[in-house]
Structure 1
Amino acid sequence: MPQPSDANLHGDVFGGWIMSQVDIAGSIPATRRAGGRVATIAVNSFTFKQPVFVGDLLSFYADIIKVGTTSITISVEVYAERQRMEAEVVKVTEAILTYVATDDQRKRRAIPPV
């Protein structure tokens, strides 16, 4: 849930705050599939569909859409539950990010087979 410090004086949440949360959400399935450390190497697409407001309850859904030799592409969708008398849920953001698996020296490494 975004806080007042995450928004401008009108209560609109900064896009950069949402982007950082999307990156965290996307890194979870990427890390699990890679079996270890990953780094974000590309934001392939990022679309803000609706504004996000202070007090919205956000849910992030991340799915693997492609696995390469060293990289994993993740789709992330963000939904906001508006905090009103009757909850309204709207899709506010969708993004596709690519992560690369890295070793302890932060060099690319192969993703293990399933």
Structure 2
Amino acid sequence: MPAVPSQLGSPQGELSVRVLAMPADTNPAGNIFGGWVLGQMDIAGATHAISHIGFQVATVAVDAMKFYKPINVGDEVSCYTRISRIGRTSITVIVEIWVRRRRQGNPMNVTTGAFTYVAMDDDRKPVEIKNKTF
């Protein structure tokens, strides 16, 4: 399970995606829509997995996703990724979202989740992952 924000003093892993939260991405309450956040995390996790294993991937599970604080319009949203497990054909990536609020300097962890992907060959069939190191 990913660590809770009080245990994280700084982002863990490598920066995979950085984007600004925009008004078009809000829910009716005015916060950034959770589905948009999930999409950014999935892109970040998949990008990290692909670069590590050298195959395309398909998302098969999102586990233990937690929203600690809302993301606001104008926040700088950064997705940090690290591998937590590599199986025969699957790879699990922990994704943390850290935001920097407008006119504030200190980033904070607002969301963490574990994303599992299956490695796919050119025919979109599961393929064995040879590189098990991380």
State the TM-score, normalizing by the size of structure 1. 0.92
Is contact 1:35–1:112 with CA below 8 Å preserved after alignment?
no
Q: How does 1:1-114 map to 2 (within 5 A)?
A: 1-84=20-103, 86-113=104-131
The 4+ residue runs of structure 1 with deviation greater than 2 A are: 8-11
Superposition RMSD on alpha carbons, in Å?
1.3
Greater shift in the superposed pair: 4-13 or 64-73: 4-13
Distance 1:92 1:83 in 2: 15
Give the % identical residues.
Answer: 42
For structure 2, list consecutive stretches of 5 or more residues without a partner in the other structure: 1-19
Distance 2:35 2:78 in 1: 17
For structure 1, list consecutive stretches of 5 or more residues without a partner in the other structure: none
| Secondary structure of the corresponding residue to residue 24 of structure 1 | helix
The count of corresponding residues between Structure 1 and Structure 2 is 113
Distance 2:105 2:69 in 1: 16
Distance 1:58 1:93 in 2: 10
Please tell me the residue identity of whatever aligns with 2:23: P
